[in-house]
């Protein structure tokens, strides 16, 4: 859990009546969520439950069929929102450009939009790489990096814009257990130091219960429960317990 001394600088996210269908099949069914400023909010659930679809709606990469998403009281589709709130996303694949160096990947948004002089961008890149333990890696190419290092570069790239809301899609997927723990520690540490709001979609039970302030458990496009890790473990909802017990059985095999 985050230290109580952490100063929230993140944003509030409110999801109301959110629904989405693909080819006539409902994927999200009237989702209601409120995510508090500065918290780490983890969305869990089995494959196909709608977790990643929900994340894309929240960041504005896709549009819902019904419902609203408000960030600091303003619709995510509002053109003025990006002038008020800085949003970033760490994709499951990392989404690094192989033709660019690590440093160029991290500073890409700042460079392309000419937001800072080159010397300032170089300073920001070095600072953000150091935050994720990759100092001095600016000249390396993505092809030379491990899966865990690519995830950390993707996090550094997101941090380069000083986000108030940072979304992660399966940040520990395809990583070995040791590196998965490292990524979880990075997410927790960044949240503590920067006070940003973090939304993490994951099937990784250890990650969720290790870093979350609250956990939402999804099933077949609906939210079954929302609560602290302790409240989630204590839930009397049989589907919640079935999901948690199934995870435990797989981990013990």
Compute φ and ψ for 136, nearest 5 degrees. 80, 10
Residue 232 is inside which H or E element, if any? Answer: helix 229-233
Domains, in order of start, for the chain: 1-86+166-253 (3.40.50.300), 98-162 (no CATH)
CB 164 within 8 A of CB 196: yes
Q: What is the pLDDT of residue 26?
A: 92
Closest CA to 85 of 62, 59, 108: 59
Q: What is the pLDDT of residue 94?
A: 67
- Ordered strands of the 13-22 beta sheet: 25-35, 13-22, 66-71, 74-75
Q: What is the pLDDT of residue 187?
A: 87
Q: What is the pLDDT of residue 238?
A: 87
* 116-129: burial string, b at 16+ Cβ within 10 Å, e else: eeeeebeebbbebb
Q: What is the pLDDT of residue 240?
A: 85
The pLDDT tens digits along the chain (253 residues) read: 444 333 347 899 999 999 999 988 999 999 999 999 999 999 998 888 889 899 989 988 888 999 999 999 899 888 787 778 888 888 877 688 889 999 999 998 888 877 788 898 999 999 889 888 888 989 999 988 888 888 889 989 988 888 899 999 988 887 788 888 888 888 888 888 888 999 999 988 889 999 999 999 999 999 999 999 999 999 888 888 888 877 544 444 3
User: Quick check: helix, strand or coil at residue 28?
Assistant: strand
Compute φ and ψ for 97, nearest 5 degrees. -90, 115
Burial of 72 (0-12, 13-18, 19+ CB in 10 A): middle
Q: What is the pLDDT of residue 247?
A: 56
Closest CA to 14 of 165, 231, 228: 165
Residue 66 is inside which H or E element, if any? Answer: strand 66-71
Q: Rounded to whole angstroms, what are the CA distances from 105 to 41, 112, 135, 160, 202?
A: 27, 11, 14, 10, 24
* DSSP bridge partners of 138: none
């Amino acid at each position: 859990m985050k230290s109580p001394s952490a100063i929230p600088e993140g944003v509030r996210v409110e999801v109301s009546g959110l629904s989405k269908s693909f080819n006539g099949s409902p994927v999200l069914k009237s989702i209601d969520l409120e995510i508090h400023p500065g918290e780490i909010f983890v969305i869990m659930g089995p494959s196909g439950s709608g977790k990643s679809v929900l994340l894309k709606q929240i960041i504005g990469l896709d549009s819902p069929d019904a419902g609203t998403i408000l960030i600091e009281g303003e619709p995510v589709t509002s053109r003025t929102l990006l002038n008020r709130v800085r949003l970033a996303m760490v994709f499951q694949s990392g989404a690094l450009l192989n033709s660019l160096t690590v440093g160029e990947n991290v500073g890409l948004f700042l460079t392309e939009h000419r937001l800072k002089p080159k010397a300032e961008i170089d300073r920001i890149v070095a600072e953000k790489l150091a935050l994720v333990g990759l100092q001095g890696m600016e000249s390396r190419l993505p092809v030379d990096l491990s899966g865990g290092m690519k995830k950390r570069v993707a996090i550094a790239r997101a941090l380069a814009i000083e986000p108030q809301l940072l979304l992660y899609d399966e940040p520990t997927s395809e990583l070995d257990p040791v590196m998965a723990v490292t990524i979880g520690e990075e997410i927790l540490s960044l949240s503590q130091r920067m006070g940003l709001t973090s939304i993490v979609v994951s099937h990784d039970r250890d990650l969720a219960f290790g870093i979350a302030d609250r956990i939402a458990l999804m099933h077949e496009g609906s939210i079954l429960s929302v609560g602290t890790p302790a409240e989630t473990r204590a839930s009397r909802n049989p589907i919640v317990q079935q999901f948690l017990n199934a995870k435990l059985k797989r981990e013990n095999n």
